[in-house]
A and B are shown apart, each in its own frame.
Chain A
């Protein structure tokens, strides 16, 4: 590590505004950007923070001060960091971001504390890389922080570290955090001045990766180099490849398999000029996507953001099914499952129950020989048609999205763990006896232990997906249960495609406890090419104490009572099982696409459309199902009119004409509504509504004429 070079990238910050002055440290991260703590340049006691107007940076060995400004929107109050843009380029080498440090790792920094404003180096060790303060104590926000120890900070009665805020916490020359605060003791001196001393040599830093995550959650890449999120999170066309995808070794063999990568690339080229606005496809091995928590987080963000995701569903691999389960919850986008190998449309395919309704596409030589369409044409057409169909709020290509959101109001609450546990497990023949004799017995016993004081019968009990005792469609009942059960035990043994899909659904849809269990000797039973991805999934989701011996009687097997019951183990590690993946989805999902964001006027317009007769000259088609029943036909015609009228009355009373004109979505929807009213129901319109609607139609027409 060239510490002298690094020091030249660290600058003193002097921020002022109407008598307020703050000092601190910042460091150069590339381009025109420097990073610092938010409280160095803003009053963070108010929300939103009040930024100080004058910010000057003084780099070592540089006489001239550099003026800087806060980059619009690029700050976090909870994370206490912000990015400044320099007026002139600093003469320094950018400090790169470093990976999360391990416990005990040595760190160092350089900064400009008030006790040594000309510059000072301190160092120490990482005590906790993921410190999450207990809620209820105001000392730190709930944002995870690095807890650091430094001898300099703890020396004497504890050094006053003010001014180090914003300095990089460096490990091997890379920034792993941004210093933000210390554990402090406050003393008032003889002149009634508050003096803050660092206690126990303890400092806190915001993890540097949270700056990247902040951008990733918003699907933006603003900062340069290693401070930018990975490319996948900003793409809207993702292709997740399976282990069946031909790699360089397989390419040499004959006959070559058809590669989904090639098919998707050509399909992209075919759609590029058709105004669909898709980005280049981003290809990712699903096995890679689950190889670490960090990669999984990025992939989940991408699944929340991408307009189009194509999964290589050949053999319905575990990682693919898991990610498809997440995708099914997080976005009403276009999701395609493409099967390769020997498969072509029309051939028999054993589909997992959860995706049995999905419209599969194929990439294979057989498909290329098919009279229906070759692999490229098939994928191109599905993408084009899907993006067109997706404009409808009813569009679904996987079964979960609406089923898990639109629950009846009386069936949305949590089902407490005392009322039962949802078990998502395989239904293979070999598993049945284990379920009957072991797991079911064990979990029932734990449920009884939870209900010791309660003599009534548990409302749900120990339920597998097919045993939910619901009159609803099986898939709807399962997804409702996945959302509502406070306790869920998932058995990953057998690596069943359905179980993996349900795991994805559960982790995305629920922040409640999900305990993954697995038999100890599973590795010898899984397909060899799946082993790495299964090992990754296991390490992400299965804690060691939750691995069980299926031959052991449940009475002697401790894993089950650690998964569920009065003695269940905390699941804070692995973190993703404790609601973290759900929280990530909450941050990364596209709020504008959620059903609640849809303007009422659009919903009414679409409801009307379900009843309308399309009036196309001599080719009018019926709207309803029982067209020979004139009374019903009349009702449908009126239903169309009433909803359109409701949409118009709502819009014309809810918004001023200017508000309608200013919002593109409302403007277009209102135009559609009034146009349809005149097109199909002009005889029914009352004079007053008719003239107001006509006026609005003309106004929008005029606007369109003026704006091309």
Chain B
């Protein structure tokens, strides 16, 4: 028997995704807020196991990440970053296997906040997330497109194009990514390349070369 909060929150997240894709961003956000409330409210009738607690925290981090995604679409980038940071804190504090929020914090810090690649905070975050993703892609997330593509993207930002290429090869061969997933990733790469062209032209060039290879 799983923690009953999980099923309820997952249903709300599915609904939120559907609403988001319908362009109903307000209702999507309301569904995610409700999911966060569900996940943060313990059920007196159920005693969660440590594994349950970790799973609930994982869903909570993921839900904040989804909220960040909606704010990003509505171009409320500050709120998006705040939501990702909330999720990233949970990922770090709870030593979760997901890096979705941390990855987005790095990307958005560069594309929205204009932080430079050389910024020590960015470098620190990059190193940490590359390390975690390296472990995760060798294990439980070895079949996940976003894990491999994030890892590849961060290798690119870290000036390690060979490792990035190897990661992309795995992303394509091991995860069955759909064209729309690849397209979404390419859009992010494009935003990054545009933002760092002036400050890190070599890295921007290697990102653009990657975009060419990934695009159909």
Contacts and interface: CB of A to CB of B under 8 A. Distances in A.
B141 A619 contact: yes
A675 B15 contact: yes
Interface stretch (A84-92, A109-117, A494-502, A627-635): A627-635
A679 interface: yes
Contact of B45 (A273, A615, A618, A634): A273
A617 B13 CA distance: 10
A618 B176 contact: no
Given A675-B15, A678-B21, A694-B22, A619 B146 contact: yes
A633 B181 CA distance: 12
Contact of A619 (B14, B22, B98): B98
Given A618-B103, A619-B62, A628-B173, A634 B178 contact: yes
Q: Which of A271, A618, A694 has the most CB of B within 10 A?
A: A618
Interface string A590-634: 000000000000000000000001011111111110011010011
A701 B22 CA distance: 15
Nearest to B45: A273
Interface residues of A, number: 34
A553 interface: no
B180 interface: yes
User: Could you say which interface size class chain B belongs to?
Assistant: 35 or more
Nearest to B149: A618
Given A627-B173, A628-B174, A683 B180 contact: yes
Interface in B154-184: 172-181
B145 A620 contact: yes
A613 B178 contact: yes
A634 B179 contact: yes
B65 A618 contact: yes
A633 B147 CA distance: 18
B150 interface: yes
A633 B62 contact: no
Nearest to A691: B22
Contacts of A628: 172-174, 176
Interface string A235-279: 000000000000000000000000000000000000101100000
A682 B175 CA distance: 22
B44 to A, nearest CB: 12
A622 B176 contact: yes
B153 interface: no
B86 to A, nearest CB: 14
Contact of A618 (B150, B172, B173, B174): B150
Contacts of B33: none
B127 interface: no
A679 B19 CA distance: 8
Interface string B8-25: 000001110111011000
Contacts of B178: 613, 633-634, 637
A615 B17 contact: yes
A616 B17 CA distance: 9
Interface in B72-98: 98
A613 B180 CA distance: 12
B132 interface: no
A426 B100 CA distance: 59
Interface of B: 1, 13-15, 17-19, 21-22, 45, 62, 65-66, 69, 98-100, 103, 141, 143-147, 150, 172-181
Q: Top 9 nearest A-B pairs by Cβ distance?
A: A618-B100, A627-B176, A622-B176, A678-B18, A682-B21, A628-B173, A618-B146, A633-B176, A675-B18
Given A615-B17, A622-B175, 19 more contacts: A271-B1, A273-B45, A384-B1, A613-B176, A617-B66, A618-B98, A618-B100, A618-B150, A619-B141, A620-B146, A627-B173, A633-B178, A637-B179, A678-B21, A678-B22, A679-B14, A682-B21, A683-B180, A690-B22
29 contacts: A273-B45, A613-B176, A617-B62, A617-B66, A617-B98, A618-B100, A618-B144, A618-B146, A619-B62, A619-B98, A619-B144, A622-B176, A623-B176, A627-B173, A627-B175, A628-B172, A634-B179, A636-B176, A637-B179, A675-B18, A676-B18, A678-B18, A679-B18, A682-B18, A682-B21, A682-B22, A683-B180, A690-B22, A694-B22
